[in-house]
Structure formats: structure tokens, C-alpha cells
Amino acid sequence: MADVYNYVEPEGVIIPDTEEIQNQVISEFKSLFGSDLITTPNTPQGLLISAETSERDAVAVNNATLANQINPNVAGGIFLDAIAALMGIQRTVATYSTVTATLTGAIGAIIPSGSLAKETVFGELFQLVSTTVIPIGGSITAQFQAVNPGPIACNPSTLTQKVSVVIGWETVTNLAAAVLGTDTQTDDQMRSYRRNTLAVLGQALPQAILSGLYATPNVQSATFIENVTSAPAVIQGVSLVANSIYTCVDGGTDADVADVLLNKKSGGCAYNNGAPGATPVSINRTDPYSGQVYAIKFDRPQLIPIFVQVSYRAGQSDPTTTIKNAILNYADGLIPGEPGWVVGADASPFELAGAVLYFDNTIFIENVALSLLPGGPFTSVTIPIGAFQKATITPSSIAVIPV
């Protein structure tokens, strides 16, 4: 009998078939106890064979999983972090929500850093960032930070409950909502981030420029177009001057994006912005070597609201919440292997239907239709999104209809 455990092949790691493992275990039992041994599952020896097969199969799966950790497309956890470190990149760490609040109390009262207040909707705790002294007038604004990392919400006028007992501190309240923090990257998000930054150490090439942009803090997506001719040209709906590049970037600060473009683009290459409907950005940056000042130009995407109608077969339990969450998660790029609605990504009704089935394949979808207007007309045809645009969606723009 072939060795079913020799599953590391030139083509990759192959997990042995469970039936083959079971047949080998049966063969071993019969060689020990006789060829007439009854091995059906309802016998004591059959139960032992099933248990042994399960154990060997689990070991094979574990070994294959471990062997695959050298493959960046399937690696996870610390193994994926180690692969990324070879490129000089690391998983984006979680950040904390922050909110500005007004403190009132007795003049001269000292409220130490770390003092806690609770917001009253979700019950989350926020701590004072730095020690604050109540001045003449009895009130002062101060910065609070969520105790837990991630997108911890705090709506206006909800951070009102003091938790720490501080003499002289009377009230706390926030006029504006918190600036939300972020979760650390999942393995799927990290794999995508690695693929998008493979050329982060390169220069001039489109892949190198895009890699530099994706490696910039808080950049979500970007597109790149270049005009390699010595004459003006219109490419993908964008007007470009001779020998120039165009980028449309979603996320990141203007200064950070401009620094990347200055450092990555070819010498003598011009910049463009001002695509139809996009928000143009022009920011001056000084080259640290030549001292020359450059006007770095790029665009922020035009946001294209998409309205969705999902028809499902009636008679099922109401799937409205599941359908809406699935579509929102797809648009936000939270489905493994799917980038979501990034800059330049078309809005496809078929992909939205697939997103719903990914989360719940028991829902029978009759039709998914899209529109650029709240009242339609709706169509099941993909809506094209330009290189300077980004499709957006909100829960209220998704209609779920039983048919």
C-alpha cells in the first residue's frame, strides 16, 4: 500500500484522503488480528478504527497547515507577520477612539490623567489623556481616549457619567462624537496589504508608487494612470499633461500622500489632478536633497452613492438584517479575498448577491438591482466606476423586498 503520509509533493502540500487513511488503519488491524476481522463501525474494533483514523487525519491536517505557513497566501498569525517582516512591513495595530469633552468643577481642582468617564449608550469607558486643572470660570475642554482599542463609538452628549472619584470634579460632557479608532488587521486584510505593497522598496514603476501609497498610514485604496507620451492625452477619462502621472487616493493625510509621490515618481515627471467630479489636492513639498519646492498634485475620489434593491423569495424568516450587513461588509472589504468598493472598483449586483450567500446560503435571492438614484430606475447591470470615483453605500440605501 502506498504511503499516504508522504503528502509533501513538488506541486505543494496535499492532505491525504480520509478514506485512504481509514483503509490503512483497517489493514493494520487485520494484519494484527486476522483477515476475517469484522471492521464495521458498530463493532468495538470498528469504533477503535474510526477513532484512530480521526486522530491520524487531525495530525495530517495540522502538519499540512503548519507546512503551509511558509506560503504567504495562506499563512496566518505570527507566521504571516514574519513573512511580512521580510519586506519591512507589519500588521496595522489597533488604535483608540478619542473624544473632546468639557469638564466642570471647583477652580483649581486637579483631575489626574487616567481618570475614567463612561458613555451612556454602549457603556464604554474613556480615560483622560493628560492631567487637567479646572481654571477660573469653572470649565475646561480635555481629550479622552477609549480604554479599549478599536472603533468604539461615543455619540454627542453621551460621555456624561463620571467613574473615577476626584475631589472638585463635578461634570463631564462631550459636544461632538468621538473620532473612531481602528481594529488591528485581520489575516485576510494583512494578506491583501502585503500583496498591495510588494514593490514598496521600488521606485518610479506604477507598482512601486501604488505600493508606497498603500503602505501610507490610513490609505484605503488608490488608482494610478500615467501618460508616457510627449503630448497631452485623455486616459480613462482623466486629462493628463505630457509625461505625467495621475493618482487618486482614498485615505491618508495630504502631506503623507504628497511625500510618497515626491519620493516615488520618476525625475522630471509632472503631476495631474482635477478629474471630473473628484476633489483636487495640491500641496507644496520640499525635496530634502535638492531643496526644490514641488507642487504635488493628486485627487481625492468622487463618492458615488449606490442604491440597492434585493428581492428574496418570501416565506423565509425575515433576512433583512443579514442581507444589509452582508452588502455593507462586502463594500467595506470585510469578505476574505474581496477588496470591496475601493477607488475605481465597479459596482456589481452579482457580487453583492454572492456576498449575501457567503454569509447565509439559505437565503434564496431572486434578484439584485442597482441604481444611482434613490427611486431608480434599477438595473441588474454592473455600474461602471471611474478611476477617480468610489462607490459608497449606507444601510438606508438598501431595500430588501420579499417576492
Per-residue pLDDT tens digits for 43-100: 999 999 999 999 988 888 888 888 888 888 888 899 999 998 888 888 888 899 999 9
CB atoms within 10 A of CB 305: 13
Q: Which of 275, 300, 325 is the last residue of a domain?
A: 300
pLDDT in tens, 105-157: 999 999 999 999 999 998 999 999 999 999 999 999 999 999 999 889 999 99
Q: Which of 300, 322, 344 is the last residue of a domain?
A: 300
Does residue 60 share a domain with residue 18? Answer: yes
Does residue 231 share a domain with residue 161? Answer: no
332 in a structural domain: yes
Residue 4: pLDDT over 90: no
Measured CA to CA, the distance from residue 5 to residue 277 in angstroms comes to 60
Does residue 202 share a domain with residue 271? Answer: yes
Mean pLDDT (whole number) for 166-191: 91
Does residue 244 share a domain with residue 163? Answer: no
Cell numbers at 50, concatenated: 474510526
Between the CA of residue 248 and those of 4, 40, 204, 219, 269, what are the distances in Å? 52, 65, 17, 11, 17
Between the CA of residue 189 and those of 75, 81, 193, 302, 374, what are the distances in Å? 12, 12, 6, 24, 32
188 in a structural domain: no
75 in a structural domain: no
Measured CA to CA, the distance from residue 59 to residue 65 in angstroms comes to 10
Burial class of residue 15 (count of CB atoms within 10 Å of its CB; 0-12, 13-18, 19+): middle
Does residue 215 share a domain with residue 126? Answer: no
91 in a structural domain: no
Sign of CA dihedral 45, 47, 51, 53: positive
Does residue 270 share a domain with residue 237? Answer: yes
Cell numbers at 158, concatenated: 453621551
What total number of domains does the chain contain? 4
Does residue 285 share a domain with residue 307? Answer: no
18-33 and 44-67 are packed helices; what angle lies between their axes, rounded to 10 degrees? 140
212 in a structural domain: yes
What's the DSSP call for residue 206? Answer: H
pLDDT in tens, 367-403: 999 999 998 899 999 999 999 999 999 999 999 999 8
Range of the domain at 241: 197-300
Does residue 282 share a domain with residue 237? Answer: yes
161 in a structural domain: yes
